[in-house]
Amino acid sequence: GAGVSQSPSNKVTEKGKDVELRCDPISGHTALYWYRQSLGQGLEFLIYFQGNSAPDKSGLPSDRFSAERTGGSVSTLTIQRTQQEDSAVYLCASSLAGQDEQFFGPGTRLTVL
Amino acid sequence: AQRVTQPEKLLSVFKGAPVELKCNYSYSGSPELFWYVQYSRQRLQLLLRHISRESIKGFTADLNKGETSFHLKKPFAQEEDSAMYYCALRTGRRALTFGSGTRLQVQP
């Protein structure tokens, strides 16, 4: 079946602009995660959605970052007033509730000029 | 706060040599440990988890709570093992805390 998909695959934007990154999880997966991978860094947790529970936003680096998940499926990560330090690969993952394995998408490479 | 440390950014070995990718963690409770792998131009994927105590593609990893380590080992490296390897820790919440990764380069 189809895996986790993300769009766009690449996004170049100017400093100060807002961007939206999309994630389509595997059908039936109730858990969805966003991570960020900056150059030379490991993967940094951003936000986690589980079913209808309130999301765990503890990893969001600033209030310029927000995410929503509509209908328990597709998720959008929004970065407002982008800064150059926001340049990174943004990864989405999903998993079945209560299961260990997270399945990752291909990522969106964001470049802020 | 939990932390995962992978001290080596790059590990280069020859084909057939033993491999050990180091991972240390800091967490006071009972963690769940994982190794994820990313081959060139592929997605990040789960390699193995400590609770399964399994061997995948010849790799094994043992959780050592005394040393807070979860090193990944393989007795004989293959060229196709060349990839980026990430150690990850999960505590109460479901999201993972990743190390910075080690690039394994297996030379012919």
Q: B100–A41: do the CB atoms touch at under 8 Å?
A: yes
For residue B6, the chain A residues in CB contact (below 8 A) are: 42
Torsion angle of the four alpha carbons A43, B58, B64, B29, in this order, in degrees rounded to the nearest 10: 40
For residue B95, the chain A residues in CB contact (below 8 A) are: 33, 45, 48, 56, 59
* pLDDT tens digits, one per residue of B58-107: 999 988 988 999 999 999 999 999 999 999 998 766 788 999 999 999 99
* pLDDT tens digits, one per residue of A39-58: 777 889 999 998 888 899 99
Beta bridge partners of B20: B73
**Percent of chain A clearing pLDDT 70 (strictly above):** 97
pLDDT level of residue A98 (50, 70, 90 thresholds): low
Summarize the confidence of residues B30-36 as an average pLDDT.
90
The full length of chain B comes to 108
Of A17-26, A30-39, B45-54, the range with the lowest mean pLDDT is B45-54
Residue A66 to chain B, least CA–CA distance (Å): 17
